[in-house]
Chains A and B, each alone.
Chain A
Amino acid sequence: MSKTNAVARGSHVGRIWVIARHAFTQLVRMKVFYFLAVFAVIAIASNFFDLPQHEGPESLGVNVLHSIKSWSLGTMTLFSVVLSIVATALLLPKDVEDRTLYTILAKPVPRIDYLAGKLLGVLLLVFVSLALMDALMTAVLQIRTTVVLGQQLGMAQAQGWPADTVESLRRDTLLNGPTWSLQGAVFAVFLRASIMASLALLISTFSTSTLFTAIISFMVYFIGHFQADARAVYLHAGHSGESLAGRMGALLFSLVLPDFQNFNVIDAVIEGQTMPLMVLGKLTLVGLYYAVFFTAASWLVFAEKEF
């Protein structure tokens, strides 16, 4: 008995990982990966959304590369946000309802370990899903970029373009293919989903139902897309924005509610622009800030909760 009790305490990291792996398995066995089949269909179908063009070789086939990226990243966003909100909103109330939470908290498991484990499990699932979707998108994009490049170079040579212009065309086209910026955009999608998962976790600690958590989370998600505009309008209209209280209120608002306009860089990547490392670093810090803030707030509520 003493031997077992000596190791029974375990470590925070160990317990969080056990709960995270379990939450991941639980969600996988709910067959959420079936969505990947839908994604595969969308990624392949986006190959055929090629609008007819009558310009020169420089824009030949580029639209279809944009289409693949746009549809794929759009689907990834939809899937990751829906999954992170619904899965997080589901896990906590289900454990309370089934009384499995009693048996877990009756073990030497601090409540923060339980919360962090559940959140990490959801994030693990979102990460693996995005990685699989990313691999599929990159593969489709690579194949199509090779085809487009071949067509463009063929037409450019037929029209007798100079070598340096052809090289410039090749570089521009490759920027629309699978790039590190595109991988950065996928990571940004993951960061946005992480913020939403931690927010859903916070709401589910005081919510009475999964539906309520999901609705409020989606509302915050939509508000997050125009909160920066709303703040700007408020601060620059009338006298309220000039007062210290008004400015502090606006600052507090932005500290509590995430500004998803920061993630508009994903659209720029779809258009073939490069995502600077600094921007990705800033997004990572923003994501970390909100994830830690919401998780800490969840813990404050959950630590006092009675079952």
Chain B
Amino acid sequence: MVLKMCLPMAETIPAVEIVNLVKDFKTSFKAQLLRAVDGVSIRIMPGEVYGLIGPNGSGKSTTMKALLGLVAPTAGTCAIFGKDSLKVDSRNDVGFLPENPYFYKHLSGAETLRFYGKLCGLKGRDLEDRVGELLALVDLEGARDRRIGGYSKGMLQRIGLAQALVQEPRLVILDEPTAGVDPVGSRQIRDLILKLREQGITVFLCSHLLEQVQEVCDHVGIIFKGKMVKAGRLEDLIAIEDQTEIILKDADAELVAQIMALVRRSPGASLVRTGKPRTTLERLFLRETTNREDGV
């Protein structure tokens, strides 16, 4: 957060600016067009973590591909830090992790990062230092010389995230970063995204795992059938304005009774629900499967 406040004036240029994006695809053997994205506009400021959510086939990946210049917009514009997405130099500042990535199986983790680093112009000591740094960041130092072909799904996602970060981009685009990954791997990726946020890196991710999006994103957009149906700050969107939540710790029954009596006496206020907050199944799973002292 402090980093965001210290950003120079130049950083007021949006990291991502998509304006009225329309993308039509030709359908096979038919003259009619399929509209995958219909007038979508997204603005992401530097340092924000933006989650684009929507059901399968709603246009999330197409929007991301248009932003990366992998597909050309039928109408509208996409820009990264003010540079047209269709121009190669816009990609100096962006890292991308596609959905279910498969990297070259014949390369090891370190070789993979070296390859992508060299594509970005890194070389020599700088490149080697960066490779080591990234392998440490994604916790793959132990597998640096192992062929990618032998990596698990979670490891693939993490090496994918590392390659996206190789040239220290200011924007990272993640397409379903935790798809098919077990809860432990999923948590590691989430922690990495939170680390990026702490470093002031802008993150644009799409997912249909809503709980995860809620945990890491500060802005969200909901896309449905190619149209943006809702967008804004997450807190604003999910807050129930006419309700207030108070969570007490070690409160005895008498205190709870007093509070409830107080609420009953207040005109216009009513008690909606009381009870004990529950942990999530995911947290329970993580607690039981990681860092167990008994080593089971």
Q: Does A26 contact B (CB under 8 A)?
A: yes
- B65: A residues at CB distance < 8 A: 102, 306-307
In the complex, per-residue mask of A10-38: 1 if CB is within 8 Å of any chain B CB, else 0: 11001100110010011001100000000
Q: Of all chain A residues, which has the CB nearest B90?
A: A108
In the complex, per-residue mask of B103-116: 1 if CB is within 8 Å of any chain A CB, else 0: 11011000000011
State whether A1 and B115 are in contact (beta carbons under 8 Å apart), knowing that A107-B120, A307-B71 are contacts in the complex: no
Q: Does B121 contact A (CB under 8 A)?
A: yes
In the assembled complex, the Cα of A10 lies from the Cα of B91 at a distance in Å of: 13
Would you list which residues of chain B between 169 and 204 have a CB under 8 Å from chain A?
170, 173
Central interface residue in B72, B88, B160, by most chain A CB within 10 Å: B88
Q: Is the CB of A106 within 8 A of B70?
A: yes
Q: Is the CB of A109 within 8 A of B119?
A: yes
- B68: A residues at CB distance < 8 A: 102, 105-106
Q: Is the CB of A25 within 8 A of B119?
A: no
In the assembled complex, the Cα of A19 lies from the Cα of B72 at a distance in Å of: 24
Q: Is the CB of B71 within 8 A of A306?
A: yes
Q: Is the CB of A106 within 8 A of B91?
A: yes
Q: Does A104 contact B (CB under 8 A)?
A: yes
State whether A108 and B160 are in contact (beta carbons under 8 Å apart), knowing that A1-B170, A25-B106, A100-B103 are contacts in the complex: no
Q: Is the CB of A108 within 8 A of B92?
A: yes
Q: Does A7 contact B (CB under 8 A)?
A: yes
Q: Is the CB of B104 within 8 A of A106?
A: no
Question: How far apart are B144's CB and chain A's nearest CB, in angstroms?
Answer: 17
Q: Is the CB of A5 within 8 A of B93?
A: yes
Q: Is the CB of B104 within 8 A of A26?
A: yes
Partner of A4, one of B72, B94, B122, B163: B122
Q: Is the CB of A8 within 8 A of B121?
A: yes
In the assembled complex, the Cα of A15 lies from the Cα of B91 at a distance in Å of: 14
Total interface residues in chain B, CB < 8 Å: 41
Q: Does A246 contact B (CB under 8 A)?
A: no
- B123: A residues at CB distance < 8 A: 7
Q: Does B84 contact A (CB under 8 A)?
A: no
In the assembled complex, the Cα of A276 lies from the Cα of B284 at a distance in Å of: 81
- A25: B residues at CB distance < 8 A: 106-107
In the assembled complex, the Cα of A107 lies from the Cα of B68 at a distance in Å of: 9
Partner of B119, one of A15, A26, A304, A307: A15
Q: Of all chain A residues, which has the CB nearest B119?
A: A107
Interface residues on A, range: 20 to 34
Partner of B121, one of A7, A104, A110, A304: A7
Q: Does A9 contact B (CB under 8 A)?
A: yes
Q: Does B69 contact A (CB under 8 A)?
A: yes
Q: Does A99 contact B (CB under 8 A)?
A: yes
In the assembled complex, the Cα of A54 lies from the Cα of B113 at a distance in Å of: 66
- A10: B residues at CB distance < 8 A: 118-121
State whether A99 and B98 are in contact (beta carbons under 8 Å apart), knowing that A9-B89, A26-B104 are contacts in the complex: yes
Would you list which residues of chain A between 103 and 120 have a CB under 8 Å from chain B?
103-110
Q: Does B218 contact A (CB under 8 A)?
A: no
Would you list which residues of chain B between 251 and 277 have a CB under 8 Å from chain A?
none
Q: Does B167 contact A (CB under 8 A)?
A: yes
Q: Does A55 contact B (CB under 8 A)?
A: no
Partner of A307, one of B70, B97, B100: B70
Q: Does B50 contact A (CB under 8 A)?
A: no
Instruction: List, sorted by A's number, 28 A–B pairs whose CB atoms are closer than 8 Å.
Output: A4-B122, A7-B121, A7-B122, A8-B121, A9-B89, A9-B92, A9-B121, A10-B118, A10-B120, A14-B121, A15-B119, A22-B115, A26-B104, A30-B106, A99-B99, A100-B101, A100-B103, A102-B70, A102-B98, A102-B101, A103-B98, A103-B116, A106-B68, A106-B70, A106-B95, A107-B116, A108-B92, A108-B119
Chain A residues packing against B (C-beta within 8 Å)? 1, 4-5, 7-11, 14-15, 18-19, 22, 25-26, 29-30, 98-100, 102-110, 304, 306-307
